[in-house]
Amino acid sequence: MQRHNKSPKIHLNENLRGLSTSATIAIQQLSKTLTEQGREIYRLGLGQSPFPVPDPVIEALKKNAHQKDYLAVKGLEELRHSLIGHHRRIFGIESGMEDIIVGPGSKELMFILQLVYDGEILIPTPSWVSYYPQARIIGRHVNAIMTTRENSWKITAGQIDAICRLDPGRSRLLILNYPSNPTGQTYSAGELKELAEVLAKYQVLVLSDEIYAKLTFSDKHTSIVNFYPEGTIFSGGLSKWCGAGGWRLGLFVIPENLRWLTDAMATVASETFTSTSAPIQYAAVTAFQQNPDIDIYVEKCRKILTALSDSIIAKFQKTKVDVLAPQGGFYIFPDFDQYRQLFQKKGILTSTDLCDQLLQDTGVAILPGVDFGRPKDELTVRIAYVDFDGTAALKNFPDHAALNDDYLQKYCGRTLRAVDIIVDWLSE
Protein backbone atom coordinates (compact mmCIF):
# COMPACT_ATOMS: atom_id res chain seq x y z
CA MET A 1 0.00 0.00 0.00
CA GLN A 2 1.45 3.32 -1.00
CA ARG A 3 0.65 6.22 1.32
CA HIS A 4 0.93 9.92 0.49
CA ASN A 5 1.80 12.04 3.46
CA LYS A 6 -1.00 14.62 3.19
CA SER A 7 -4.60 14.12 4.32
CA PRO A 8 -7.53 15.17 2.13
CA LYS A 9 -8.41 18.86 2.24
CA ILE A 10 -11.59 18.77 4.33
CA HIS A 11 -12.83 20.75 7.32
CA LEU A 12 -15.03 19.91 10.24
CA ASN A 13 -18.57 21.29 10.05
CA GLU A 14 -18.53 24.43 12.26
CA ASN A 15 -21.56 23.19 14.20
CA LEU A 16 -19.57 20.27 15.58
CA ARG A 17 -16.82 22.34 17.10
CA GLY A 18 -16.49 21.70 20.81
CA LEU A 19 -18.76 18.66 20.73
CA SER A 20 -17.55 15.17 21.56
CA THR A 21 -19.09 11.77 22.35
CA SER A 22 -22.39 12.05 24.20
CA ALA A 23 -21.82 12.12 27.97
CA THR A 24 -24.00 9.04 28.63
CA ILE A 25 -22.12 6.99 26.06
CA ALA A 26 -18.71 8.30 27.16
CA ILE A 27 -19.22 7.40 30.83
CA GLN A 28 -20.22 3.86 29.85
CA GLN A 29 -17.12 3.48 27.69
CA LEU A 30 -14.92 4.82 30.48
CA SER A 31 -16.56 2.50 33.03
CA LYS A 32 -15.92 -0.46 30.73
CA THR A 33 -12.28 0.47 30.18
CA LEU A 34 -11.64 0.91 33.89
CA THR A 35 -13.34 -2.43 34.67
CA GLU A 36 -11.17 -4.13 32.06
CA GLN A 37 -8.13 -2.60 33.74
CA GLY A 38 -9.14 -4.41 36.91
CA ARG A 39 -10.86 -1.62 38.87
CA GLU A 40 -14.20 -2.22 40.53
CA ILE A 41 -16.54 0.28 38.92
CA TYR A 42 -20.11 0.98 39.99
CA ARG A 43 -21.98 1.87 36.81
CA LEU A 44 -24.42 4.60 37.74
CA GLY A 45 -23.55 6.65 34.65
CA LEU A 46 -25.49 5.37 31.64
CA GLY A 47 -29.26 5.21 32.10
CA GLN A 48 -29.89 1.69 30.91
CA SER A 49 -32.73 -0.49 32.20
CA PRO A 50 -31.34 -3.26 34.45
CA PHE A 51 -34.27 -5.51 33.55
CA PRO A 52 -34.37 -8.17 30.81
CA VAL A 53 -36.67 -7.93 27.80
CA PRO A 54 -39.92 -9.76 28.76
CA ASP A 55 -40.09 -13.39 27.61
CA PRO A 56 -43.01 -13.06 25.15
CA VAL A 57 -41.10 -10.28 23.36
CA ILE A 58 -37.90 -12.35 23.21
CA GLU A 59 -39.92 -15.25 21.79
CA ALA A 60 -41.44 -12.98 19.17
CA LEU A 61 -37.96 -11.81 18.15
CA LYS A 62 -36.73 -15.40 17.83
CA LYS A 63 -39.72 -16.27 15.66
CA ASN A 64 -39.03 -13.31 13.42
CA ALA A 65 -35.29 -13.60 12.99
CA HIS A 66 -35.93 -14.52 9.34
CA GLN A 67 -37.67 -11.22 8.54
CA LYS A 68 -35.28 -9.65 6.12
CA ASP A 69 -37.14 -7.21 3.93
CA TYR A 70 -36.98 -3.45 4.12
CA LEU A 71 -40.21 -2.30 5.73
CA ALA A 72 -42.42 0.76 5.27
CA VAL A 73 -40.57 3.97 6.16
CA LYS A 74 -43.11 4.94 8.83
CA GLY A 75 -42.99 1.44 10.28
CA LEU A 76 -44.48 -2.03 9.89
CA GLU A 77 -48.27 -1.69 9.51
CA GLU A 78 -48.96 -4.38 12.09
CA LEU A 79 -46.78 -2.54 14.57
CA ARG A 80 -48.43 0.82 13.96
CA HIS A 81 -51.77 -0.90 14.41
CA SER A 82 -50.65 -2.35 17.75
CA LEU A 83 -49.32 1.10 18.75
CA ILE A 84 -52.67 2.76 18.06
CA GLY A 85 -54.34 0.35 20.52
CA HIS A 86 -51.55 0.68 23.06
CA HIS A 87 -51.62 4.48 23.11
CA ARG A 88 -55.39 4.58 23.37
CA ARG A 89 -55.39 2.06 26.24
CA ILE A 90 -52.48 3.42 28.26
CA PHE A 91 -52.42 7.16 27.54
CA GLY A 92 -55.85 7.96 26.12
CA ILE A 93 -54.25 9.09 22.87
CA GLU A 94 -56.22 8.76 19.63
CA SER A 95 -54.13 8.31 16.49
CA GLY A 96 -54.28 6.88 12.97
CA MET A 97 -51.84 4.78 10.94
CA GLU A 98 -50.36 7.80 9.17
CA ASP A 99 -49.78 9.71 12.42
CA ILE A 100 -47.13 7.28 13.62
CA ILE A 101 -43.49 7.05 12.69
CA VAL A 102 -41.21 4.32 14.00
CA GLY A 103 -37.45 4.84 14.05
CA PRO A 104 -34.18 3.26 15.23
CA GLY A 105 -34.52 4.82 18.69
CA SER A 106 -36.50 7.94 19.60
CA LYS A 107 -33.13 9.75 19.69
CA GLU A 108 -32.89 9.51 15.89
CA LEU A 109 -36.49 10.69 15.44
CA MET A 110 -35.77 13.70 17.69
CA PHE A 111 -32.81 14.61 15.53
CA ILE A 112 -34.89 14.37 12.36
CA LEU A 113 -37.67 16.44 13.92
CA GLN A 114 -35.22 19.21 14.79
CA LEU A 115 -33.90 19.03 11.25
CA VAL A 116 -37.23 19.32 9.42
CA TYR A 117 -38.73 21.89 11.76
CA ASP A 118 -37.45 25.45 11.43
CA GLY A 119 -37.71 27.47 14.61
CA GLU A 120 -36.39 28.07 18.07
CA ILE A 121 -35.97 25.12 20.44
CA LEU A 122 -36.95 25.59 24.08
CA ILE A 123 -35.11 23.20 26.38
CA PRO A 124 -35.75 23.14 30.13
CA THR A 125 -32.64 22.56 32.23
CA PRO A 126 -31.74 20.18 33.64
CA SER A 127 -32.67 17.85 30.83
CA TRP A 128 -31.27 14.86 28.95
CA VAL A 129 -27.75 15.27 27.59
CA SER A 130 -28.57 14.96 23.87
CA TYR A 131 -31.32 17.50 23.17
CA TYR A 132 -28.97 20.46 23.14
CA PRO A 133 -26.14 18.88 21.11
CA GLN A 134 -28.68 17.71 18.51
CA ALA A 135 -29.99 21.26 18.12
CA ARG A 136 -26.41 22.54 17.86
CA ILE A 137 -25.39 20.03 15.22
CA ILE A 138 -28.36 21.10 13.11
CA GLY A 139 -27.74 24.76 13.86
CA ARG A 140 -30.99 25.57 15.66
CA HIS A 141 -31.22 28.41 18.13
CA VAL A 142 -31.74 27.06 21.65
CA ASN A 143 -33.45 28.91 24.46
CA ALA A 144 -32.60 27.18 27.74
CA ILE A 145 -35.29 27.51 30.40
CA MET A 146 -33.70 27.36 33.83
CA THR A 147 -35.66 25.51 36.49
CA THR A 148 -35.08 25.50 40.24
CA ARG A 149 -34.88 22.90 42.96
CA GLU A 150 -37.66 24.85 44.74
CA ASN A 151 -39.98 24.16 41.81
CA SER A 152 -38.88 20.50 41.68
CA TRP A 153 -36.77 21.23 38.57
CA LYS A 154 -39.95 21.87 36.56
CA ILE A 155 -40.86 24.70 34.19
CA THR A 156 -43.94 26.81 34.74
CA ALA A 157 -46.59 28.24 32.44
CA GLY A 158 -45.37 31.69 33.52
CA GLN A 159 -41.88 31.00 32.18
CA ILE A 160 -43.27 29.96 28.79
CA ASP A 161 -45.47 33.03 28.73
CA ALA A 162 -42.51 35.31 29.54
CA ILE A 163 -40.48 33.88 26.64
CA CYS A 164 -43.27 33.89 24.06
CA ARG A 165 -44.71 37.30 25.00
CA LEU A 166 -41.50 39.00 23.81
CA ASP A 167 -41.88 37.65 20.30
CA PRO A 168 -45.28 35.96 19.89
CA GLY A 169 -44.91 35.43 16.13
CA ARG A 170 -41.84 33.23 16.37
CA SER A 171 -42.14 29.52 15.70
CA ARG A 172 -41.04 27.40 18.66
CA LEU A 173 -40.59 23.81 19.75
CA LEU A 174 -40.59 22.92 23.45
CA ILE A 175 -38.99 19.65 24.51
CA LEU A 176 -40.73 18.38 27.62
CA ASN A 177 -39.67 15.14 29.31
CA TYR A 178 -41.53 13.51 32.20
CA PRO A 179 -40.87 11.52 34.29
CA SER A 180 -37.66 13.42 33.86
CA ASN A 181 -34.21 12.31 32.97
CA PRO A 182 -32.23 13.43 35.05
CA THR A 183 -34.44 14.46 37.98
CA GLY A 184 -37.04 11.68 38.26
CA GLN A 185 -39.72 14.35 38.77
CA THR A 186 -42.93 14.40 36.77
CA TYR A 187 -45.76 16.84 35.99
CA SER A 188 -49.22 16.47 37.47
CA ALA A 189 -52.31 16.65 35.24
CA GLY A 190 -53.00 20.13 36.62
CA GLU A 191 -49.51 21.37 35.80
CA LEU A 192 -49.70 19.95 32.29
CA LYS A 193 -53.07 21.62 31.75
CA GLU A 194 -51.66 25.00 32.72
CA LEU A 195 -48.69 24.51 30.43
CA ALA A 196 -50.97 23.36 27.61
CA GLU A 197 -53.04 26.55 27.84
CA VAL A 198 -50.10 28.87 27.39
CA LEU A 199 -48.49 26.65 24.73
CA ALA A 200 -51.73 26.66 22.75
CA LYS A 201 -52.02 30.44 23.17
CA TYR A 202 -48.66 30.96 21.45
CA GLN A 203 -49.01 27.92 19.15
CA VAL A 204 -45.80 26.35 20.44
CA LEU A 205 -45.13 22.83 19.21
CA VAL A 206 -44.37 20.36 22.01
CA LEU A 207 -42.17 17.31 21.78
CA SER A 208 -43.42 15.31 24.74
CA ASP A 209 -40.71 12.79 25.58
CA GLU A 210 -42.60 10.18 27.60
CA ILE A 211 -40.08 7.38 27.27
CA TYR A 212 -40.23 6.75 31.07
CA ALA A 213 -44.05 7.05 31.30
CA LYS A 214 -44.69 3.40 32.06
CA LEU A 215 -42.14 3.55 34.86
CA THR A 216 -44.14 6.18 36.79
CA PHE A 217 -44.12 4.81 40.33
CA SER A 218 -47.73 5.74 41.11
CA ASP A 219 -48.85 4.29 37.77
CA LYS A 220 -50.76 7.56 37.26
CA HIS A 221 -48.99 9.09 34.32
CA THR A 222 -50.90 11.73 32.35
CA SER A 223 -49.80 12.82 28.88
CA ILE A 224 -49.95 16.47 27.82
CA VAL A 225 -51.44 15.16 24.57
CA ASN A 226 -54.74 15.00 26.49
CA PHE A 227 -54.71 18.78 26.96
CA TYR A 228 -52.99 19.92 23.77
CA PRO A 229 -53.63 17.25 21.12
CA GLU A 230 -53.22 19.56 18.12
CA GLY A 231 -49.78 20.78 19.20
CA THR A 232 -48.11 17.77 20.83
CA ILE A 233 -45.85 15.09 19.43
CA PHE A 234 -45.75 12.06 21.71
CA SER A 235 -42.39 10.30 21.88
CA GLY A 236 -41.90 6.79 23.25
CA GLY A 237 -40.15 3.51 22.60
CA LEU A 238 -39.00 0.17 23.92
CA SER A 239 -35.75 1.20 25.60
CA LYS A 240 -36.77 2.00 29.15
CA TRP A 241 -39.93 0.11 30.13
CA CYS A 242 -39.12 -2.97 28.06
CA GLY A 243 -35.42 -3.21 28.94
CA ALA A 244 -34.50 -3.01 25.27
CA GLY A 245 -32.26 0.05 24.85
CA GLY A 246 -29.94 -1.80 22.50
CA TRP A 247 -32.78 -2.93 20.28
CA ARG A 248 -33.15 0.66 19.13
CA LEU A 249 -36.86 1.12 18.58
CA GLY A 250 -38.52 4.47 19.15
CA LEU A 251 -41.72 6.07 17.91
CA PHE A 252 -43.51 9.36 17.49
CA VAL A 253 -47.25 9.97 17.41
CA ILE A 254 -47.83 13.23 15.53
CA PRO A 255 -51.23 14.97 15.31
CA GLU A 256 -53.08 14.71 12.04
CA ASN A 257 -53.07 18.48 11.54
CA LEU A 258 -49.26 18.31 11.32
CA ARG A 259 -49.23 15.67 8.58
CA TRP A 260 -46.79 17.76 6.50
CA LEU A 261 -44.31 17.44 9.38
CA THR A 262 -44.78 13.66 9.68
CA ASP A 263 -44.34 13.33 5.94
CA ALA A 264 -41.24 15.54 5.96
CA MET A 265 -39.78 13.35 8.68
CA ALA A 266 -40.63 10.26 6.63
CA THR A 267 -38.85 11.82 3.64
CA VAL A 268 -35.67 12.29 5.69
CA ALA A 269 -36.07 8.79 7.13
CA SER A 270 -36.37 7.34 3.64
CA GLU A 271 -33.16 9.11 2.63
CA THR A 272 -31.23 8.11 5.75
CA PHE A 273 -32.14 4.98 7.74
CA THR A 274 -34.80 3.71 5.25
CA SER A 275 -36.70 1.68 7.85
CA THR A 276 -36.17 0.29 11.34
CA SER A 277 -34.77 -3.24 11.75
CA ALA A 278 -37.44 -5.72 10.57
CA PRO A 279 -37.11 -8.46 13.25
CA ILE A 280 -37.19 -5.82 15.99
CA GLN A 281 -40.37 -4.27 14.58
CA TYR A 282 -42.08 -7.66 14.40
CA ALA A 283 -41.09 -8.35 18.02
CA ALA A 284 -42.34 -4.91 19.04
CA VAL A 285 -45.85 -5.84 17.84
CA THR A 286 -45.98 -8.27 20.77
CA ALA A 287 -44.44 -5.75 23.19
CA PHE A 288 -47.23 -3.23 22.55
CA GLN A 289 -50.15 -5.68 22.40
CA GLN A 290 -52.30 -6.15 25.49
CA ASN A 291 -50.70 -8.97 27.46
CA PRO A 292 -51.21 -9.62 31.20
CA ASP A 293 -47.73 -11.15 31.51
CA ILE A 294 -46.13 -8.00 30.18
CA ASP A 295 -48.31 -5.86 32.46
CA ILE A 296 -47.12 -7.89 35.46
CA TYR A 297 -43.51 -7.52 34.31
CA VAL A 298 -43.86 -3.72 34.12
CA GLU A 299 -45.55 -3.59 37.50
CA LYS A 300 -42.74 -5.57 39.11
CA CYS A 301 -40.06 -3.36 37.51
CA ARG A 302 -41.90 -0.30 38.84
CA LYS A 303 -42.13 -1.74 42.34
CA ILE A 304 -38.45 -2.66 42.45
CA LEU A 305 -37.42 0.81 41.26
CA THR A 306 -39.76 2.46 43.77
CA ALA A 307 -38.44 0.44 46.72
CA LEU A 308 -34.84 0.92 45.65
CA SER A 309 -35.24 4.67 45.22
CA ASP A 310 -36.88 4.92 48.68
CA SER A 311 -33.90 3.17 50.17
CA ILE A 312 -31.41 5.41 48.35
CA ILE A 313 -33.23 8.58 49.38
CA ALA A 314 -33.25 7.37 53.01
CA LYS A 315 -29.46 7.00 52.84
CA PHE A 316 -28.99 10.52 51.49
CA GLN A 317 -31.37 11.94 54.07
CA LYS A 318 -28.79 11.07 56.71
CA THR A 319 -26.32 13.41 54.97
CA LYS A 320 -26.40 17.09 53.96
CA VAL A 321 -27.06 16.14 50.34
CA ASP A 322 -30.24 17.76 49.01
CA VAL A 323 -32.27 15.42 46.83
CA LEU A 324 -35.89 15.06 45.77
CA ALA A 325 -37.49 11.61 45.89
CA PRO A 326 -38.08 10.48 42.30
CA GLN A 327 -41.58 9.84 40.96
CA GLY A 328 -40.58 7.59 38.08
CA GLY A 329 -37.78 6.30 35.87
CA PHE A 330 -34.39 5.44 37.35
CA TYR A 331 -32.62 8.69 38.08
CA ILE A 332 -32.07 11.09 40.96
CA PHE A 333 -30.48 14.52 40.75
CA PRO A 334 -28.86 15.36 44.10
CA ASP A 335 -27.21 18.66 44.98
CA PHE A 336 -23.98 18.57 47.03
CA ASP A 337 -23.87 22.31 47.66
CA GLN A 338 -23.66 21.84 51.44
CA TYR A 339 -20.25 20.25 50.90
CA ARG A 340 -18.88 23.10 48.82
CA GLN A 341 -16.35 24.37 51.37
CA LEU A 342 -15.03 20.91 52.12
CA PHE A 343 -14.77 20.15 48.41
CA GLN A 344 -12.90 23.39 47.75
CA LYS A 345 -10.08 22.16 49.99
CA LYS A 346 -9.79 19.12 47.70
CA GLY A 347 -9.81 21.31 44.58
CA ILE A 348 -13.38 20.31 43.65
CA LEU A 349 -15.00 23.44 42.22
CA THR A 350 -17.40 22.11 39.59
CA SER A 351 -19.81 19.21 39.11
CA THR A 352 -17.29 17.71 36.67
CA ASP A 353 -14.50 17.90 39.30
CA LEU A 354 -16.89 16.24 41.73
CA CYS A 355 -17.69 13.28 39.46
CA ASP A 356 -14.05 12.86 38.36
CA GLN A 357 -12.79 12.84 41.93
CA LEU A 358 -15.53 10.47 43.10
CA LEU A 359 -14.73 8.04 40.29
CA GLN A 360 -11.01 8.24 40.99
CA ASP A 361 -11.38 7.80 44.76
CA THR A 362 -14.17 5.23 44.88
CA GLY A 363 -14.96 3.72 41.47
CA VAL A 364 -18.52 5.11 41.48
CA ALA A 365 -19.36 6.46 38.01
CA ILE A 366 -22.05 9.18 37.80
CA LEU A 367 -22.61 12.21 35.56
CA PRO A 368 -22.17 15.91 36.41
CA GLY A 369 -25.07 18.38 36.34
CA VAL A 370 -23.25 20.45 33.71
CA ASP A 371 -23.90 17.68 31.16
CA PHE A 372 -27.62 18.28 31.71
CA GLY A 373 -27.33 22.01 31.11
CA ARG A 374 -26.76 23.24 34.66
CA PRO A 375 -24.16 25.91 35.51
CA LYS A 376 -20.63 24.46 35.78
CA ASP A 377 -20.15 25.38 39.41
CA GLU A 378 -23.50 24.05 40.63
CA LEU A 379 -22.70 20.85 42.52
CA THR A 380 -25.53 18.75 41.10
CA VAL A 381 -25.09 15.26 39.65
CA ARG A 382 -27.21 12.57 38.06
CA ILE A 383 -27.24 9.11 39.59
CA ALA A 384 -28.75 6.32 37.47
CA TYR A 385 -29.63 3.66 40.06
CA VAL A 386 -29.37 0.76 37.67
CA ASP A 387 -26.27 -1.23 38.58
CA PHE A 388 -27.93 -4.47 39.61
CA ASP A 389 -29.05 -7.75 38.11
CA GLY A 390 -32.62 -7.05 37.06
CA THR A 391 -33.14 -10.64 35.88
CA ALA A 392 -32.40 -12.02 39.36
CA ALA A 393 -34.47 -9.26 40.96
CA LEU A 394 -37.50 -10.19 38.84
CA LYS A 395 -37.03 -13.95 39.27
CA ASN A 396 -36.99 -13.60 43.05
CA PHE A 397 -39.75 -11.03 43.29
CA PRO A 398 -41.78 -12.04 46.37
CA ASP A 399 -45.34 -12.88 45.40
CA HIS A 400 -47.13 -11.85 48.55
CA ALA A 401 -44.67 -9.86 50.62
CA ALA A 402 -43.34 -6.32 50.47
CA LEU A 403 -39.91 -5.65 49.02
CA ASN A 404 -37.99 -5.44 52.27
CA ASP A 405 -34.37 -4.50 53.01
CA ASP A 406 -33.19 -8.09 52.73
CA TYR A 407 -34.60 -8.38 49.23
CA LEU A 408 -33.07 -5.06 48.17
CA GLN A 409 -29.69 -5.94 49.68
CA LYS A 410 -29.71 -9.27 47.95
CA TYR A 411 -30.83 -8.23 44.48
CA CYS A 412 -30.04 -4.52 44.20
CA GLY A 413 -27.00 -4.66 46.47
CA ARG A 414 -24.47 -3.18 44.07
CA THR A 415 -26.44 0.03 43.67
CA LEU A 416 -27.02 0.34 47.41
CA ARG A 417 -23.34 -0.31 48.05
CA ALA A 418 -22.42 2.43 45.57
CA VAL A 419 -24.64 4.89 47.45
CA ASP A 420 -23.07 3.83 50.77
CA ILE A 421 -19.67 4.44 49.21
CA ILE A 422 -20.71 7.98 48.18
CA VAL A 423 -22.03 8.64 51.69
CA ASP A 424 -18.79 7.36 53.29
CA TRP A 425 -16.71 9.39 50.84
CA LEU A 426 -18.58 12.52 51.95
CA SER A 427 -17.91 11.86 55.60
CA GLU A 428 -14.18 11.38 55.09
Minimum CB distance to ligand GLU, residue 247 (Å): 12
24 makes contact with ligand GLU (CB under 6 A): yes
Cβ nearer to ligand GLU, comparing 22 with 152: 22
289 makes contact with ligand GLU (CB under 6 A): no
Cβ nearer to ligand GLU, comparing 261 with 365: 365
DSSP sequence for 304-367: HHHHHHHHHHHHHHTSS-B-PPPSBTTEE--B-GGGHHHHHHTT--SHHHHHHHHHHHH-EE-E
- The residue from 43, 80, 87, 107 that contacts ligand GLU (CB under 6 A) is 107
Cβ nearer to ligand GLU, comparing 46 with 135: 46
Cβ nearer to ligand GLU, comparing 27 with 115: 27
Considering just the CA atoms, what is the radius of gyration of the chain in Å? Answer: 22
248 makes contact with ligand GLU (CB under 6 A): no
- The count of C-alpha atoms lying within 13 angstroms of the C-alpha of 382, restricted to the half-sphere facing its C-beta, is 31
- Upstream peptide bond of 126 is cis (omega within 30 degrees of 0): yes
Secondary structure percentages of the chain, helix, strand, coil, to 5: 50, 10, 40
Spatial contact of 265 and 100, defined as CB atoms under 8 Å apart: no
Spatial contact of 304 and 402, defined as CB atoms under 8 Å apart: no
- The residue from 106, 159, 181, 281 that contacts ligand GLU (CB under 6 A) is 181
Cβ nearer to ligand GLU, comparing 22 with 226: 22
Minimum CB distance to ligand GLU, residue 167 (Å): 32
| Rounded Cα distance, 22 and 133, in Å | 8
Beta bridge pairs of residue 380:
335
Minimum CB distance to ligand GLU, residue 157 (Å): 27
Cβ nearer to ligand GLU, comparing 133 with 231: 133
Residue nearest to ligand GLU (CB): 47
| Rounded Cα distance, 321 and 427, in Å | 11
- Upstream peptide bond of 179 is cis (omega within 30 degrees of 0): yes
Cβ nearer to ligand GLU, comparing 107 with 136: 107
47 makes contact with ligand GLU (CB under 6 A): yes
Cβ nearer to ligand GLU, comparing 202 with 247: 247
247 makes contact with ligand GLU (CB under 6 A): no
**Residue 297: CB partners within 8 Å, gap ≥ 6?**
51, 54, 394
Cβ nearer to ligand GLU, comparing 52 with 329: 329
Minimum CB distance to ligand GLU, residue 110 (Å): 10
- The residue from 44, 46, 354, 403 that contacts ligand GLU (CB under 6 A) is 46
109 makes contact with ligand GLU (CB under 6 A): no
Cβ nearer to ligand GLU, comparing 129 with 422: 129
Map the footprint of ligand GLU across residues 361-400, applying CB under 6 A: none
Angle at 323 between CA 318 and CA 324, to 5 degrees: 120
Map the footprint of ligand GLU across residues 123-152, applying CB under 6 A: 128, 130
| Rounded Cα distance, 272 and 267, in Å | 9
Minimum CB distance to ligand GLU, residue 248 (Å): 10
Say what angle helices 55-63 and 292-317 make with each other, to 10 degrees: 130
227 makes contact with ligand GLU (CB under 6 A): no
Q: Name the strand (E) or helix (H) holding 253.
A: strand 250-253
- The count of C-alpha atoms lying within 13 angstroms of the C-alpha of 365, restricted to the half-sphere facing its C-beta, is 24
How many residues touch ligand GLU under the rule CB under 6 A: the total is: 8
Minimum CB distance to ligand GLU, residue 34 (Å): 18
**Residue 227: CB partners within 8 Å, gap ≥ 6?**
192, 193, 195, 196, 197
Residue 245's closest CA among 40, 65, 384?
A: 384
Q: What are phi and psi of 403, to 5 degrees?
A: -80, 95
Minimum CB distance to ligand GLU, residue 141 (Å): 23
Minimum CB distance to ligand GLU, residue 107 (Å): 5
Positions touching ligand GLU (CB under 6 A) are 22, 24, 46-47, 107, 128, 130, 181
